[in-house]
Chain A
Amino acid sequence: MVRLPDSANVQECSRDPRTDQELIAAANTGDAAAFEVLYRRHRDWVVNLAFRFIGDRDLALDVLQDTFLYFLKKFPGFELTCQLRSFLYPAVRNLCIAARRKAERHQSTGNELEDLEAPPPAGVAPAAHEHLAAALAGLSAEHREVLLLRFVDGLSLNEIADALEIPLGTVKSRLHNSLAVLRRDERTKKLLEQ
């Protein structure tokens, strides 16, 4: 993989040692540089989450902009009471639903997470990943989302609970049961052998 050289500003942002809370406090006083650090820190996670939901690059970029503009309007006076990704997750999800509806005039069936998830991308990698993707497709949307937030997005269990607005125990239960299903599945059990 080739790593493209970052601009000096991007490098500074990635080295900024301040926590999200500290950056938000600074942005509340009008510090635009602090907001830029937050943006660069969470940009890729937001756009890739949006792409996972709607499978369209251009729509994902629209959702990226809408998400951070929504976040920007919270200033001044924004108070972060959880991890920032837990705060952004429902915003991304809801904006994806709106973007999908606008683009496709899609009618909600009431299970919006099921309707929202993009089909597996074309040109997918080798067979092992296809088997895993197929096995994941057999899980319920709620179970699959917890699994992806944990192992693809790297959210902690508490962050997942906050993002999905469900109790921590429910997160643990869904994670445990999802992995149990994948361990029993002949297509995926080898991936989970220690």
Chain B
Amino acid sequence: MKAAPAIAVGIALALSSLPGQEPAVPQAEVRFSAIDVFVDSEAQPLAAYQLTVTAPHGDVRIVGIEGGEHAAFKEPPYYDPKAMQKERVILGAFNTSPAEQLPRGKTRVATIHVQVSGPTILNVTTKLEAAATSEGHSITAQISLVERNAK
């Protein structure tokens, strides 16, 4: 019985050395993913925000930006077109509507489409740089990122 594992290993090694039996090389996998960006202004109406999103590890490239869920931020935010095919982007948007027409609490303000190469676990960070109410008063807000399942 003790010889069984050795025999199994021996058979495996023998099989692997047969002609045509190349060891399997994992193919570089490319996939697309979408990352939802949320800003939570709690009780305050969110009129403007600016944040940076960075993917510091792995082979992740930004390929697209979409707007958010609330009407006030439905249009894609401002961003530098040079961010496309890079791993960092600064997003900024504002809406001059009255406070009652602005989102409060947690709202999706944008979606970032990325191309991921290789078996990379998506690791993306974000930093809030500015947020304000409709009067232009700076407020604190929480930001979060959620990778969406591709459809």
Do chains A and B directly touch (beta carbons under 8 Å) in the complex? Answer: yes
Asked if A169 and B62 make an inter-chain contact with CB atoms under 8 angstroms apart, the answer reads: yes
Asked if B151 and A181 make an inter-chain contact with CB atoms under 8 angstroms apart, the answer reads: yes
Closest to A177 in B: B150
Q: A172 to B150, alpha carbons, bound, how many Å?
A: 13
Q: Report if B78 contacts A (CB, 8 A).
A: no
Contact of A166 among B64, B115, B151 (CB under 8 A): B64
Q: Which positions 163-194 of chain A face chain B at CB distance < 8 Å?
A: 166-173, 176-177, 180-181
Closest to B32 in A: A173
Asked if B63 and A173 make an inter-chain contact with CB atoms under 8 angstroms apart, the answer reads: yes
Q: A52 to B62, alpha carbons, bound, how many Å?
A: 32
The proximity string for B residues 113-144 relative to A, scoring 1 for CB distances below 8 Å and 0 otherwise, is 10100000000000000000000000000000
The proximity string for B residues 67-103 relative to A, scoring 1 for CB distances below 8 Å and 0 otherwise, is 0000000001000000010000000000000000000
Q: Report if B34 contacts A (CB, 8 A).
A: yes
Contact of B115 among A139, A140, A169, A180 (CB under 8 A): A169
Contact of B84 among A139, A167, A176 (CB under 8 A): A167
Report if A172-B151 is in contact (Cβ < 8 Å); known contacts: A167-B64, A167-B76.
no
Residues of B within 8 A of A168 (CB): 63-64, 84
User: From DSSP, what is the main secondary structure of chain B's interface residues?
Assistant: strand
Q: Report if A143 contacts B (CB, 8 A).
A: yes
The proximity string for B residues 4-29 relative to A, scoring 1 for CB distances below 8 Å and 0 otherwise, is 00000000000000000000000000
Report if A169-B64 is in contact (Cβ < 8 Å); known contacts: A176-B32, A177-B32.
yes
Asked if A172 and B66 make an inter-chain contact with CB atoms under 8 angstroms apart, the answer reads: no
The proximity string for A residues 146-178 relative to B, scoring 1 for CB distances below 8 Å and 0 otherwise, is 000000000000000000001111111100110
Q: Report if B39 contacts A (CB, 8 A).
A: no
Residues of B within 8 A of A180 (CB): 150
Residues of A within 8 A of B32 (CB): 172-173, 176-177
Q: A170 to B151, alpha carbons, bound, how many Å?
A: 13
Contact of A177 among B65, B66, B84, B151 (CB under 8 A): B151
Closest to B84 in A: A169
Asked if B63 and A170 make an inter-chain contact with CB atoms under 8 angstroms apart, the answer reads: yes
A-B contact pairs, 24 of them (CB 8 A): A140-B151, A166-B64, A166-B66, A166-B76, A167-B63, A167-B76, A167-B113, A168-B63, A168-B64, A169-B63, A170-B63, A170-B64, A170-B66, A172-B32, A172-B64, A172-B115, A173-B34, A173-B63, A173-B64, A173-B150, A177-B32, A177-B150, A180-B150, A181-B151
B residues lining the A interface (CB < 8 Å): 32, 34, 62-66, 76, 84, 113, 115, 150-151
Using A166-B66, A168-B84, A173-B64 as known contacts, list a sample of 17 further A-B pairs with CB atoms less than 8 Å apart, ordered by residue number in A.
A139-B151, A166-B64, A166-B76, A167-B64, A167-B65, A167-B66, A167-B84, A168-B63, A169-B63, A170-B64, A172-B32, A172-B63, A172-B64, A173-B32, A173-B115, A177-B32, A177-B151
